[in-house]
Amino acid sequence: MSDQKITVLAIGGHVGDAELTAGGVLAHHSLKGDHIVTLALTAGERGVPAGQDMAEYREQKVREANAFAEMLGGEAIVFDTPDGELKDDDENRWAVCDVIRRVRPNVIITHWKNSMHKDHMTTHRIVNDARFYAGLPSFERELPAFFASRLYYAENWEDAVDYKPYVYVDFPKEAFDLWVKAVSQHWFVTGSKSFPYLEYYKHLARVRGIEARQEYAETFMIPEENKRVLKNEL
């Protein structure tokens, strides 16, 4: 295995999406010295706690994104789009394209195509096209073209329809512990009354690890066109 350092860009519809669904893998890459960048296309402020001002909660969500990234030695980016109002348009595609060209990730992680949440599905479509835009030199932007060669779709309880684990990525307890500590910076992960986020994803990491005959793991789907197994004999 190469010791060359890589950059991983995890893109969610809201602050916390990528951190929850791929956080163990992100923590593991961080501990190996790789560069971690999270991008949230909205802050996810409509999950505001009862009695709290939504604008203040948005600022809190941005702080939480930065806290998570800092604990992994990385960078957090949060777009200004209001939660629930993410548009499936080229303006957003170019914005994500420009992030990809600046960050130059080897790996992109984002949402699976189906979801109970419109922002997740919209993010999936935006990221797929933005990756294409970013890779073509004939699309002239401020920064030169860059193609992220590896694309993964994370396992999310809200994106479960037709999701079938395809790639298992395992990680040790050291990464698990760092992830739990970092993701617990997000209020909704530990304080939400609507869903036990931390408990669910901690147990899911253990279950996927057992399935992989490892301690902990997270699973991913990949683009259909990449589902090829090449052998020269059985």
Query: Is residue 2 domain-resident?
Result: no
Tell me if the pTM is above 0.75: yes
CATH number at residue 12: 3.40.50.10320
Query: Is residue 48 domain-resident?
Result: yes
Angstrom distance (rounded) from CA 97 to CA 94: 5
Query: Is residue 206 domain-resident?
Result: yes
Give the dihedral of Cα atoms 105, 186, 49, 12; nearest 10 deg. Answer: 20
Give the H or E element holding residue 71.
helix 54-71
| pLDDT tens figures, 46-67 | 999 989 999 999 999 999 999 9
Query: Is residue 132 domain-resident?
Result: yes
Query: Is residue 207 domain-resident?
Result: yes
- Specify whether the CB–CB gap between 95 and 56 falls below 8 A: no
Query: Is residue 16 domain-resident?
Result: yes
Residue 215: Cβ-neighbour burial (10 angstroms; 0-12, 13-18, 19+): middle
pLDDT tens across the length of the chain (234 residues): 457 999 999 999 999 999 999 999 999 999 999 999 999 999 999 999 989 999 999 999 999 999 999 999 999 999 999 999 999 999 999 999 999 999 999 999 999 999 999 999 999 999 999 999 999 999 999 999 999 999 999 999 999 999 999 999 999 999 999 999 999 999 999 999 999 999 999 999 999 999 999 999 999 999 999 998 889 998
Query: Is residue 231 domain-resident?
Result: no
Query: Is residue 233 domain-resident?
Result: no
Q: How many domains does the chain have?
A: 1
Task: Identify the pLDDT of residue 10.
Answer: 98
Q: Determine the structural domain holding residue 49 and report its residue range.
A: 7-226
